[in-house]
Structure 1
Amino acid sequence: MENLEQQNANSEKETEKDELENSAEEATSEEETSVDNEEQAAPPKEEEAEPVEKPENTAEEETPAEDSETVDEAEETGEPESEAAPDSEADEVTEEDEAEAEVAEEESEETAEDAESFYAEIVERAKELVVQTDWAFVTTELANLAQNVTEGPKSTSEKASQLIDEFQELRDNFEQKKKEHYEELNRKKEENLAKKKELLKSLSDIINEENWTATKEVGKIKGQWENIKLLPQGEAEALDKRFKELMDEFEDHKVDRLVKKLQKEEENLELKLLLLDKMDALTQKLNENTPDFEELEDQFNKLISQWRKVGRVPSEKNQPLWDRFNAVQDTFNEVRFKVDKEYREQIERALSKKKKLVKEAEALVDQENIAKAARKVNKLHKAWKNAGNLPQKDENEMWDLFKAATDKFNEMKSDNIDKLREQEEANLEKKYELIKEAEEAKDTDDFDAGHQKMQSLMSRWKKIGPVPRKQSSKIWKKFKGAMDVFYDRRREAFKGERKDQKENLEKKQEILEKLKELGKHDDPALAVQEAKKLQQDFKDIGYVPIKMKNKIWKQYREACDVIYDRYRALGSDLGMEKKLANQGIDPDTRKDIIKLQKERDKLKKDVSKLESEMIQYQEAKTYFKPTNRGNALKDELQEKIDKAENSIAEKEERLKEINKEIDQLKRTGDSDEEE
C-alpha cells in the first residue's frame, strides 16, 4: 500500500511539474508570436526610430480601417507611409497603443500577484500540515493541495515558481518522514515479537521444569507480556493463545501445590504441638530431687531444636504457637532457676555482667571524646556476646536496655558528626607525630635505646583514638614500615654474634633439599613427622646473608607448604592414618582400611539417626486419639517404624562385614610389614 501511495505521489509530482513547464512554454510561445506579428505589421523605415514595446495581445487586435487604407495608398503611390498620412494622425495612433500596452502590463502584474498569493497560501497550509503526525490525514490534505497547485493560475513569476518548489519540497520531506516513521514502527513490532517469544520460552521452561513455586517470576512475565502492545499483523492471536494455555497450566498446578502445602502445614502443626507437650512434661519433672539437671536440659534443648526445624504451620495458628513455645521455655527456666543452685549462680553471673555492660553503654553519651566512645561500642558488643546466656525473657529485657543505650549514642554521634570528624583529624595529627618520631629513631645505632623508644611509640599509638577510616591503613603502614626498618637493622647488627652467615646458608639449603624430598614421600603422615624435626633444625641454625634472607625463607615456606598440604588433604583421615602408621601397616593397606572405616562411621551415624526417629515415631503414636484420623496417622507412623527397623537391620549386617574386612586387612598389613 505504501509503495502504491509513493508511486501515485511521484506520478502526481511529475504531472504537476510537466504542467508547470508546459504553462511556462506556452507563455513564452505567446510572447514570441506577438513579437513576430509586431515586426511584420511595422512599416519599412527610412530613418532609425525608437521601437515601441507592445503587449502580447496587440497582434490579435484588428487594425483600424483608416490605417489600412493609408497603407494601401502608400503602396500604390510608392511613397513612404510617413508621407501618405499627416503627422498628427501618426501621433494619435502611437498614444493609443501605449495606453493599451500600459493597461495590459497592469493586468499582467495583477495576475502575477494573484498567483503568488494563491501559492503562498498553499505553502502556509502545507507548513501547518507537515508538523502533524496524523499521517493519513496529512497525506490526503497534501494530495489535495497538490491538485490545487496543478489546477492553479498560470504565472511566469519567479516568486510563484519558488513557492511551488517550496511546496513540493515540504511534501517530499513529509513523505520521507512518514516512510521513516513506518519503518521504525515495523522495527518496533519485530522487536516486540522477539520479546514475546522470549517471554513465552521462559514461561514454557518453568512449566517443563515443573517449578510450581515460581509465582513471583511468572507474575513478572505476565506483567511484561501485557505491557507489550504493538506486534506484526497476524502474530498476536497465536501468541496470546499459547500464553494463555501455559498460564492456565501453571495456575492449575499452583492450586495443587497450595493444597499440598496446607496439608503439610496441618501436619507440622500437629508435630509442633506434640513437641510442646513433651517440653511441658520435662518441665514437670524439674524439682529439687532431679538427679541430673544437665541431662534434663539437654533433652529440653533437643526438643527446642526439633521444634524449630519443623516447617510452617497455618498462619492463623503461628502466633499462638510461638506464644506457647516461649511460655514453655520461660517456665522451664524459672523452675530450674528455683531448684538448681549451680544454674542460678551461672545466670546471676551472666546477668551481672550484662547489667554492667548496659551501664557502660549508657555512659557513652557523656563522653567528650566521641571518637574513643565510638571505638568502645564495638568492644561492648563483643563483650556482650561473651557474657553468657540468660533465660529468654531476661535476655530480651537486658538486650532491649543495651540496644537502647547504644542506639542513643549512635544518634548523638550522628548529631555531632562534625565534632567526631574533628576528633578523628586530631588523632590523625597525633599519629603523624608518632610516625615522625619513628622515622627519626629507625636509624639509631643504639639498638637498646631504639627498642625502648619503639615500644613506647607503639604503646602511645594504641592509646590514641580512631582516625578517618580512609587514612587508617595508610598511616599504619608508614608507622610499621619505620619500625620494620629499625628491627631489620637491629637483627642485622646482632648477626655477628652468631655463626658464620654463609655456613648457616649452606646448612639451611641442605635442610631445604631434605624437605623437598619429603614433599614427594608416599606416606604424608610420616613425612610430617620427619619435617617437624627438620623445621626445628632450620630455626636453630640462625641468620643467613641479608640478600638471601627473603629468598631462603620463601623456599623454606614453599617446601613446608607442600608437605603439610598433602597431609591436610587427607582431611579427617589424619588421625586414622597416624594411628595405623604407628601400628606398622603399609600405606596401601592403610588407605583401604581408612575407606572402610569411613563407611563404617557413616553407617553408625545412619543407624543412630534411624533409632532416634523410631523412638520419636513410637512416642508420637501414644499422643493420637483412637479416631479415624488418629488411627490413620498411627498406621502411617507404624509404616515408618517398620521401614526404619528394616534399614537398621541391613546397615548392622553391613557393619559386621566391614569389621571383618578391616580385621583381615590389618592382619595382612602387619604380615607384609614384617616380611
Structure 2
Amino acid sequence: MSDQEKDQEREAILKNEQEQDVNENSVNESDTSDLKKSPQDTPDSEKESIKETEQKKQETSVDESDQNENKPGDTTSEKVENQIEASESDEDEEDEITSSDDEETEDDSEQDKGTTDYHSMSQKELVGSLKDLLKTGKIQEIKKEVDEIRHEFNSQFDDEINEKKEEFIAQGGNIIDFHYSSPLKNEFNSLYFEYREKRNNYFKNLKKDLQANLQKRLELIEELKGLIDVEENINTTYKHFKDIQERWREAGPIPRDGYNTVWNNYHHHVENFYDFLHLNREFRDLDFKHNLEQKLKIINRAEELANEENVNKAFRELQLLHKMWKEDTGPVAKEYRDDVWDRFSAATKVIHDKRAEYQKEIEKDFEKNLELKNEITSRIEELTENTKNSHQAWQQGIKALEKLREEFFNAGKVPAKNNDESWNNFKEAVRNFNRKKNQFYKNQKKEQYTNLSKKQELIKIAEENKDSDDFEVVTPLMKKIQNEWKQIGHVPRKDSDKIWKQFKAACNHYFDRFHASRNKASEDEVKNLEAKNTLLEELKAFDLSGEPKSDLKFIKEKISTWKDIGRVPFAKKNIESKFNKTIDALFKKLDVSKKEIELIKYDNKLNNITSQDDERKIQNERFFITKKIDEVKQEINQLENNLGFFQYVDDSNPMVKEVHKNIQRHKDELELWKEKLKKLKEVM
C-alpha cells in the first residue's frame, strides 16, 4: 500500500467517526467497511471560502419570532398563545444548531425514553409533569416530552370546551356569547411559554458561542499559516506553534456543519508546519516521539476495550479515543505511521464487529416484544369495538384497559426503528377507547339535562299550586306530579339536591296545609297525648341498670307501648320529636351495636309515619332511602375505581389502607339502608 493510500485511509476513518449517526441503530456493517478509507488534505481554495461562508451565516437573523410581536389590545390569554406560536417558528433553526461535541451514543436503556403514558394523566397532572420537567430537565433535551404533554393537554382541554359548550347551549345560552377558560389552561400556557423562552435563549446563546469558537479557530488557522513565513528564531517559532496547538484544544465546540472543513484546514497547515520544521530535526523528532507515545496509549486502551463485557460502554469510549486521536495528538514519524494506524483500525474493527453482533442478538428479543405489544394494541382496539353502551359495561372496560396498559409497559423494549410506531399505535388505541367512553357519558349528560328540564316544569306546577285551597282538585294533581318526578330519572349531580329541596318544599307546604285543615283534635287524640306525656316522663326518669340486654328489652317495650297509644292532636305532633330524642339519649348510653340501634330507631320512625296514614310521607321515605342506596353504591364504585391507581402500591400503604377502610364503611352503611328499605316495604 502506497503512502498516499495510507493517508487516504486515515482521513476516511476520522471523518467517518465525526459524521456517523450516534444513535445505536446507525452502527451496522458499514461501520467496519468504512475503515478502509483515509484523510485528504483540504485545498487552499476551500480553506479560503470558510470565512466567507461563516460571515454569511452570521449575517442571517437568528430570531424570527421578533416579527410576531403582539398587537395592542390583545388579551393576556391571546398574547400567550401568539407568543407560543411565534416562538415555534424557530424550531427548525434550533434543530440545526448542534455542537460538534454532541457525538456520544445513547445507551440501549434509553431506547424507550419519552414513552411516559401522559394520556392517562389528568390536566392537573400534566401541568405538574411540565412543571417538574422545567425544574429538573435540561432544556435542550425535553422537547419530545414537552410536545407530548402539550398535545395531550390541548386534546383534553378541547374536549372540555366542547362539553362546556354543550352544557351552555342546553341551558339556553347563545353560542355567540360562549366563552370558556380555566386556571389550569392559563397556568399551562404560562409554563409552556416559559419553556419556549428558555429554549430559544439556550439556542441563541449556543449559536453565539459556537460562532465565537469558530471565529477563534479560523483566527488560529490564519496564525498557524503565518508561522511559515515569519522570520524569527526557530525556538521562538516552535513555542509559538505549541501555544497555537494549546489554544486550539481550548477553543471549544463549533457548528457541526463546519467542523470537518475547519479541522481538515487546520490539519493541513499543521502538516505544512512540520514540513517546514523538517529543517530542524531535533524539534520535529521530539514532537514525533511525544505524539507516538500518546497514540500508543490510545491504541492500548482501544485493544483493552475489546475485552470489555459492556459492549455499549466500549463503543462510547472508543468514540472518545477517536476524538482524542484526531484532536489531541499530532503526526508521528513516517516509519511508524502505518503501523500505529493499522493497530488502531484493527482494534476499532473488533469493537464494531462485537457491537454489531450484540445488536443482532438483542434485536431478536426486541422483535418478540414488538409482536406482544402489537397484540396488546389489537386487544385494546377489540375492547373499544365490543364494549356495550351501558355504565356497567364501560366500568368493566376501564378495568380491562388498565390491565392491558400494564401488560404493554411490562412487555419490554422493541426495535428502535419500530419504537415510535408501536408507541403511537398504542396511544391511538387507548385514545379511541377513551373517546368512545367519553361520548357515551356525554350522551348520558345530555339525557340528564333533558330530565332536569322536565323536573323544573314539575317544580313550577308545585309552586303555583302550593297555596291553593281547592284540596279536592289539587291533591290528586300534587300526587300525580310526585309520581312523575320519580319516573323521570337522574339529573346532573350539581343540580340534584337543589331542585329536590325546591320540589319537596313546595309539596310539603301544600300537604301540611291540607292535613292541618282536616285534622282537628278529638277526645281520643287528647287522651293519647296525655298517655304519651306520661310515658315520656317515665323514660326521662329511667336509669340504666347496667345490664344492656335487660335495659334494651325495657326500651323496646316502651317503644312498642308508644306505638300502640295512637295519634295525638296535629298541633302537638312535636311530642314525637321529644320521644325520639329521649330514646336516642338512652341508646347512646347502651353498649349495643350501632346497626341494631339504628334499626330500632327506624322502627319508631316508621310507626310515626304510618300512624299519620299519610301516603305521601311513606312514598317520600321510600324515595329518600332509594336515593341514599344509589348514592352509597356510587361512592363504593368510585372508591374501588380509585384503587386502580394504587395497583403498584403495597396494601400496607396508609393511603391504600384509608381507601379500603372507606369502602368497608360505605358497605356497612349500604347494608343498613337496605335493611331500612326492607322494613319500609313490610308496612307499605
For normalisation by structure 1, the TM-score amounts to 0.28
In terms of fraction of residues, the more helix-rich structure is: 1
Q: Which has the larger radius of gyration?
A: 1
Q: Per chain length, whose mean CA-contact separation is higher, i.e. which structure has more relative contact order (CA < 8 Å, sep 6+)?
A: 2
